[in-house]
Every structure is written in structure tokens, then in C-alpha cells.
Amino acid sequence: MADRPSFEFATVSAVTDRVWIGGDLSIHRSDLARQQADELVEHGLTHVVDCRSELDDAVRWRRHPAVDYLNHPMDDAGQEVPDEWFDEAVEHLQTALLDPAAVVLTHCHAGVNRGPSLGFALLLAEGWDPVEAIGRIRSARLIAHTFYAEQALRWHHERTGTPAAQRRDERAALTEWRRRHPVSLRHVMGR
């Protein structure tokens, strides 16, 4: 695996060299938003899945027509996430990753929940063990809580026809991992 990039301007974290998660382009400063987008493209970004329902960056990405931008909205209200939401986005991202040069970003507003949760679902679909996937996401982005990880795991189990015993073991392992690695509110609140 190539070295994972780090970013000066973008609020993005590289989970792998080809799968990134994070927050949005600056909504208050258009000059910073341009710097962020430029930086991401310079590091190889080819596909963006924007999970926000509250905003849409399609216009901002027009400066980079080679970047495939998909607005795939989900409220961030703790609701049950429909399987179709995971299906559509993960299929889009897996198709993108067939190109060995593709680099994908799943993001939401702050990069705490929706973007990381979709990134988790993608890693599961790519064959990652659930605990390894959540651990890699958290090590890449300390504020990533991935509130919808359990729903992504349920979706993955249904999609793959995972046997009942394995489902129980993986759910228990994810629950135990969360118990041992709680998100620090200090990190989430930026303090």
C-alpha cells in the first residue's frame, strides 16, 4: 500500500491510499473551499460521495470536471438508514475502484458520522473485517464515531448472506471494540 496522504487545507483523512473520509469544503470561505478542492485533486481524488442532505457541493466541483461528484443525501438525525442508501453509494464507489487510479472520498459536514459510516460500509464490501475497518477509520480520523456502523454491518450481512453465528460474532466484536474505544467528546468538539 502506498503512503496515505495528509492534508493541509482539506478536513479529510486517508483511511487507505484510495479510500478517504472527512468533512466538507469550507462553507464560509470560498477561497478556502477552492484550496481544499485543489489540494484533494492534487493528491489524486477522482470520486466524491457527499452524504449531506443540508448542502450540495456540485457547483464547487465544476472547477474540477474530472472529479465524479455524487450527492447522496442522508439526514444526520440518528434514524434507521435504509439498505438502499448503502447499496447505491457502495456500488458507485466499488465501480469507481475498479480503476486502479481511482481515489474515493465519502464525506459529510464534519466527518463524524455519515461520511465515515459510508466509508465503513465500503471497507466491509471490499472484504475488510469489521473490527479492522472501524479501527482503521478511527486511527485515520479521531473524531469519526461512525454512528451508523452497526447498520452498515447489518446491511453487509444481509447483502452477503453471512451465516447467523458469524453475524453474532461480528456484531459482538464491533460492540466490544466500541466499548474499549469510546470517542472522546474533546476530539469531536475540537477542544
- Say how far apart CA 142 and CA 113 lie, in whole Å: 12
For the residues 87-102, what does the mean pLDDT come to? 98
pLDDT of residue 77: 87
Task: Please tell me the pTM assigned to this model.
Answer: 0.94
Q: What is the DSSP letter of 189?
A: T
User: What share of the chain in percent tops pLDDT 90?
Assistant: 89
Which class in CATH covers the domain with range 12-188? alpha beta
CB 124 within 8 A of CB 152: yes
Position 64 pLDDT exceeds 60: yes
- For residue 187, give the C-alpha cell: 476530539
Q: Give the span between the Cα atoms of 60 and 30, in whole angstroms.
A: 9
Strands in 47-52's sheet, in edge-to-edge order, are 12-14, 19-22, 104-107, 47-52, 68-74
- pLDDT of res. 186: 61
List the alpha helices (DSSP H) in 22-69. Answer: 30-42, 58-61
Per-residue pLDDT band at 183 (split at 50, 70, 90): confident
3-state helix, strand, coil in the chain (%, to 5): 45, 15, 40
68: left (phi over 0), alpha (psi -120 to 50) or beta: beta
Interstrand relation of 68-74 and 12-14 (parallel, antiparallel or unpaired)? unpaired
Q: What value does the mean pLDDT take over residues 13-40?
A: 96
How far apart are the C-alpha atoms of 113 and 173, rounded to whole Å? 20
Residue type at position 82: P
Of 120, 126, 121, nearest in space to 87 by CA = 121
pLDDT above 80: residue 185 = no
- pLDDT in the model for residue 1: 47
Q: For residue range 37-63, list pLDDT tens digits in order.
A: 999 999 999 999 999 999 999 999 999
Q: Report pLDDT digits (tens) over 102-134.
A: 999 999 999 999 999 999 999 999 999 999 999
